[in-house]
C-alpha cells in the first residue's frame, strides 16, 4: 500500500560541500530523512520505471535510511533499486554502479570522514546519472523544495532483506542486492596492470593499508590481498563498524598517526595508505615520507601514463582552488589544460564529462579520474602502486626526483574546528571588507600582490559560483587562503591553507611547518584568527 504522509518542512536541509550532513539525532527527528529524500525526488523529472542506486558507508543509521529510501522509491515510481549487500557501497563504487547500470541516479548515505555512531554524523547525497554529485543548481532546487514540502510518499513493504545478493520484487519494483566490491574491482582491473602489481607483491614488497574500520575494508581485502596477492594483514582495520571503532575515519596525519609513525619507523613497510569513511579519500605515505594530497595529485598526473588505463596521456588536470599549484607545473610541462575549481568534487563533473580533464584532485585527500565521477581512495593507491611497480624506485626517490624537476610546493592546512559560527562569520566578513586595501601592503616582510574572493566561471555550462574562498597572494607565488568548511556539523570550521613555492633543490624536504612559519604568522596578522576566535593554535594541522 502506498501512503501519502503529511509533513512540515525543516528549515535546515541545505546541502553543504557534499550533501546534507547532520548529527544522527537530527536525522532521527520525525520525517526528517523522509522530507529530504522526497525533496530530492521532487526535484527530479522523468525517473518513472528507471533505476536508483543506493548504498552507504555502513555507519550508524545506514540500514534504517536505506529501508526508507527503498520504500519511498517504490511509492515514487522507480522501476528498480540496486543496493549494496548489507547496505554497503563505497562512494566511488556507487558512482561506478550508477554509470555501469545506466541508472537515473543514486543516493549515497555517508558523512564521509566525520565520526559515526548514535550521537555522531550521518549524511545523504544525491548523485546524478553521470555518477557525480548533484551540481549546485540541483542542490539549490532540493533545498528550495525542502522548505515548502508538505507531503511524502512511502510504500508499506516491510523491511527488505539487504543481506543476500539477488533480485526480488517489492511492491511492484525490482530490488537487486549486489556484492559491493565485484563491479568496482573489475573496473580497477581495466585501469591498472594487475600482473605487474602481483609481481611487485611477489617480490616481497610490503604494504600497509588502513581501512580505519570504514567502508574500504572489504574492497582492500579483495583487491590487495586476494586479487593482487599482498600478504594477509596488509589490510588493517578492515571490518566496517557502525562507529568506526570510535575513531574519526579521516585519513590524515592526526587520525591516522599510527600509520604515519609506522611508516617513519625503522622497520617501515615500502608503502602505506589509508582511506576514509566512504572510501573516496586517500592518505599516501612512502617509507620515510608523507606525500601531501596536493603533491600526490601532481605526481600521479606526471606518471599516470605508466598505467594501462592512462597510457594515451591526460586530457587535462583539474584541482580545487585551495589545492597547491604543484599540479599546475605538471600540466604546463605536459602542455595540457589546467582548471582551478571551487572546493567540492561536484565542480569537476562538467570538466570530466566534457573530456577537458582526466585527473582531478583536492588538498582534502581526494584524487580521482574520469573512470567515475567521485574521488576514489583505492584508485589513488592502485595508481601509486602501478607507478612504483613500473619505475622500480621507492616512493621517496620518486618524490625527490619530482621536486628536483618541478620545484617543491610547501603546503599545509590549518583547521580551527568548532569555532562559534558568529565569530567565524565575523572573521570572514572583516577579511572580505579589507581585501581591496591589501595589495601593495607588506606582512611579515612579504609584499601582497593581490587578494580576492575566488569566483568560478564554469567553462562548460557558464554557471558562476562566487565566494568560494579568500585568497591572499604574495609576490613570488606564496599564498594563504581562508575559507569556512562546508562539511562540518557543529559550529564552523575555519580552514587556512598555506603554500610556498621553492624551486631550489637544496632547500627541498625541510620541515613543512618551519618552511611556512612566516606565512603562518602572516595569515594570523591578516585575518586576526586569534583575536576573532580566541584560539592560539589550530585543532588540526595537515
Ligand atoms: C567533501 C567534498 C570534497 C571537499 C571536502 C572538504 O569531501 O566531496 O570535494 O574537498 O568535502 O570540504 P570542506 O573543506 O568544505 O569541509 P568528503 O570526503 O567529505 O565527501
Euclidean distance between CA atoms 275 and 366, whole angstroms: 10
Q: Where are the domains of the chain?
A: 2-180, 184-406, 408-541
CB 216 within 8 A of CB 241: no
3-state SS class at 313: coil
CB 379 within 8 A of CB 358: no
pLDDT score at 318: 98
Strand partners, 169: 174
96 alpha carbon – ligand 1 mean position (Å): 19
Atom of ligand 1 nearest to the CA of 320: 10
Domain pair 2-180 / 184-406, same fold? yes
CB 371 within 8 A of CB 187: yes
Residue 488 has pLDDT above 90, yes or no: no
pTM above 0.85, yes or no: yes
Sorting pLDDT into bands at 50, 70 and 90, what band is 447?
Answer: very high
CATH topology of domain 184-406: Alpha-D-Glucose-1,6-Bisphosphate; Chain A, domain 3 (3.40.120)
Residue 507 has pLDDT above 90, yes or no: yes
Residue 290 has pLDDT above 90, yes or no: yes
Mean pLDDT of 138-158: 97
pLDDT score at 18: 86
Per-residue pLDDT reduced to its tens digit, 107-142 = 999 999 999 999 999 999 999 999 999 988 999 999
64 alpha carbon – ligand 1 mean position (Å): 25
Residue 150 a catalytic site member:
no
Per-residue pLDDT reduced to its tens digit, 238-287 = 999 999 999 999 999 889 999 999 999 999 999 999 999 999 999 999 99
Alpha helices for 77-208 (secondary structure H): 91-100, 136-146, 182-191, 194-202
Residue 459 has pLDDT above 80, yes or no: yes
What is the sign of the dihedral through the CA atoms of 199, 278, 539 and 508? positive
Sorting pLDDT into bands at 50, 70 and 90, what band is 464?
Answer: very high
Q: Which of 91, 135, 214, 345 to mutate to test the pocket of ligand 1 (most atoms within 8 A of CB)?
A: 345
pLDDT score at 343: 96
pLDDT score at 487: 81
Euclidean distance between CA atoms 304 and 385, whole angstroms: 11
CATH number for the domain whose boundaries are 408-541: 3.30.310.50
Euclidean distance between CA atoms 239 and 241, whole angstroms: 6
pLDDT score at 351: 97
Catalytic residue among 43, 112, 320, 478: 112
Residue 490 has pLDDT above 90, yes or no: no
Sorting pLDDT into bands at 50, 70 and 90, what band is 489?
Answer: confident
pLDDT score at 408: 97
Atom 1 of ligand 1 has which residue's CA nearest to it? 18
Atom 19 of ligand 1 has which residue's CA nearest to it? 112
CATH topology of domain 2-180: Alpha-D-Glucose-1,6-Bisphosphate; Chain A, domain 3 (3.40.120)
Euclidean distance between CA atoms 197 and 271, whole angstroms: 13
Mean pLDDT of 4-25: 95
pLDDT score at 30: 98
Amino acid at each position: 500500500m502506498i501512503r501519502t504522509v503529511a509533513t512540515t518542512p525543516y528549515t535546515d536541509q541545505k546541502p553543504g560541500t557534499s550533501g546534507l550532513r547532520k548529527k544522527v539525532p537530527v536525522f532521527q527527528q520525525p520525517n526528517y530523512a523522509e522530507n529530504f529524500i522526497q525533496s530530492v525526488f521532487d526535484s527530479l523529472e522523468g525517473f518513472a520505471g528507471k533505476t536508483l542506486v543506493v548504498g552507504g558507508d555502513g555507519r550508524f543509521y545506514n540500514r534504517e535510511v536505506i529501508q526508507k529510501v527503498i520504500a519511498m522509491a517504490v511509492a515514487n515510481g522507480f522501476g528498480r533499486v540496486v543496493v549494496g549487500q548489507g547496505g554497503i557501497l563505497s562512494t566511488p563504487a556507487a558512482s561506478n554502479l550508477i554509470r555501469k547500470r545506466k541508472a537515473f541516479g543514486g543516493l549515497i548515505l555517508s558523512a564521509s570522514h566525520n565520526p559515526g555512531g548514535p550521537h555522531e554524523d550521518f549524511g545523504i547525497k544525491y548523485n546524478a546519472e553521470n555518477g557525480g554529485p548533484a551540481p549546485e543548481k540541483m542542490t539549490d532546487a532540493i533545498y528550495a523544495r525542502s522548505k515548502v514540502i508538505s507531503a511524502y510518499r512511502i510504500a508499506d513493504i516491510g523491511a527488505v532483506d539487504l543481506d543476500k545478493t539477488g533480485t526480488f520484487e517489492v511492491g511492484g519494483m525490482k530490488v537487486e542486492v549486489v556484492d559491493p566490491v565485484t563491479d568496482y574491482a573489475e573496473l580497477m582491473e581495466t585501469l591498472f596492470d594487475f600482473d605487474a602489481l602481483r609481481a611487485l607483491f611477489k617480490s616481497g614488497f610490503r604494504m600497509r593499508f588502513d581501512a580505519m574500520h570504514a567502508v574500504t575494508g572489504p574492497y582492500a581485502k579483495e583487491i590487495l590481498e586476494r586479487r593482487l596477492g599482498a600478504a594477509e594483514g596488509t589490510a588493517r582495520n578492515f571490518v566496517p563498524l557502525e562507529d568506526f571503532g570510535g575513531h574519526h575515519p579521516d585519513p590524515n596525519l592526526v587520525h591516522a598517526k599510527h600509520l604515519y609513525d609506522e611508516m617513519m619507523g625503522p622497520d617501515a613497510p615500502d608503502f602505506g595508505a589509508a582511506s576514509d569513511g566512504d572510501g573516496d579519500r586517500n592518505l599516501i605515505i612512502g617509507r620515510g615520507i608523507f606525500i601531501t594530497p596536493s603533491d600526490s595529485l601532481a605526481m600521479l598526473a606526471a606518471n599516470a601514463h605508466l598505467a594501462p588505463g592512462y597510457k594515451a596521456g591526460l586530457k587535462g588536470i583539474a584541482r580545487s582552488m585551495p589545492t597547491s599549484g604543484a599540479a599546475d607545473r605538471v600540466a604546463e610541462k605536459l602542455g595540457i589544460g589546467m582548471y582551478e575549481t571551487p572546493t567540492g568534487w561536484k565542480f569537476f563533473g562538467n570538466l570530466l564529462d566534457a573530456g577537458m580533464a582526466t585527473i582531478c584532485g583536492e588538498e582534502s585527500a581526494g584524487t580521482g579520474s574520469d573512470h567515475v565521477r567521485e574521488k576514489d581512495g583505492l584508485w589513488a593507491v592502485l595508481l601509486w602502486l602501478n607507478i612504483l611497480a613500473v619505475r622500480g624506485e621507492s616512493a621517496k626517490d620518486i618524490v625527490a626526483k619530482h621536486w628536483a624537476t618541478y620545484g617543491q610546493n610547501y603546503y599545509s592546512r590549518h583547521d580551527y574546528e568548532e569555532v562559534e559560527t558568529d565569530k567565524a562569520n565575523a572573521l570572514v566578513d572583516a577579511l572580505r571588507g579589507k581585501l581591496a586595501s591589501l595589495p601593495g601592503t607588506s606582512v611579515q616582510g612579504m609584499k601582497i600582490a593581490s587578494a580576492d574572493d575566488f569566483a568560478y566561471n564554469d567553462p562548460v555550462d557558464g554557471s558562476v559560483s562566487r565566494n568560494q574562498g579568500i585568497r591572499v597572494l604574495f609576490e613570488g607565488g606564496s599564498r594563504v587562503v581562508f575559507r569556512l568548511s562546508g562539511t562540518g556539523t557543529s559550529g564552523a570550521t575555519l580552514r587556512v591553507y598555506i603554500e610556498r613555492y621553492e624551486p631550489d633543490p637544496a632547500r627541498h624536504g625541510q620541515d613543512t611547518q618551519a618552511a611556512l612559519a612566516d606565512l603562518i604568522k602572516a595569515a594570523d596578522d591578516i585575518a586576526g584568527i586569534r583575536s576573532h576566535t580566541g584560539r592560539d593554535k589550530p585543532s588540526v594541522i595537515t
